[in-house]
């Protein structure tokens, strides 16, 4: 019983750390500008790996800058869940 409690507490701590990492790694006032960020900067966002970061950059190059943070869902493979977990650490300004 004691071991399962320790595992549960450890799991809670790990989940908390994972949820705070994008905020801690964000730049300029705590936000990543999705209109100017490099692939290396975009991968700091939660649920964004190199493949999706490259798609964001390619989308910007083909279509111009994002007008709103919510427009990131127009990038293939990026949906509402990814937007929800990152909307507080992204900016378009």
Q: What's the pLDDT tens digit per position in 53-86?
A: 999 999 999 999 999 999 999 999 999 999 999 9
What does the alpha-carbon distance between residue 83 and residue 66 come to, in Å, rounded to a whole number?
13
Burial class of residue 66 (count of CB atoms within 10 Å of its CB; 0-12, 13-18, 19+): buried
Considering the chain, what is the average pLDDT of its residues? 87
Half-sphere exposure of 29 (CA within 13 A, CB side): 6
CB 72 within 8 A of CB 61: no
Residue 25 is predicted with a pLDDT of 52
What does the alpha-carbon distance between residue 75 and residue 68 come to, in Å, rounded to a whole number?
13
> Who wins on pLDDT, 24 or 80?
80
Nearest residue to 46 (alpha-carbon basis) of 27, 23, 29: 23
Residue 85 is predicted with a pLDDT of 97
Domains of the chain from N-terminus onward: 2-91 (1.10.150.280)
Residue 39 is predicted with a pLDDT of 97
> Who wins on pLDDT, 85 or 24?
85
């Amino acid at each position: 019983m004691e071991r399962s409690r320790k595992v549960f507490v450890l799991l809670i701590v790990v989940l908390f750390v994972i949820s705070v990492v994008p905020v801690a790694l964000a730049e300029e006032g705590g936000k990543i500008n999705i209109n100017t960020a490099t692939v290396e900067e975009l991968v700091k966002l939660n649920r964004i790996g190199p493949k999706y970061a490259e798609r964001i950059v390619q989308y910007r190059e083909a279509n111009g800058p994002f007008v709103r943070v919510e427009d990131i869902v127009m990038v293939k493979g990026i949906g509402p869940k990814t937007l929800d977990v990152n909307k507080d650490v992204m900016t378009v300004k």
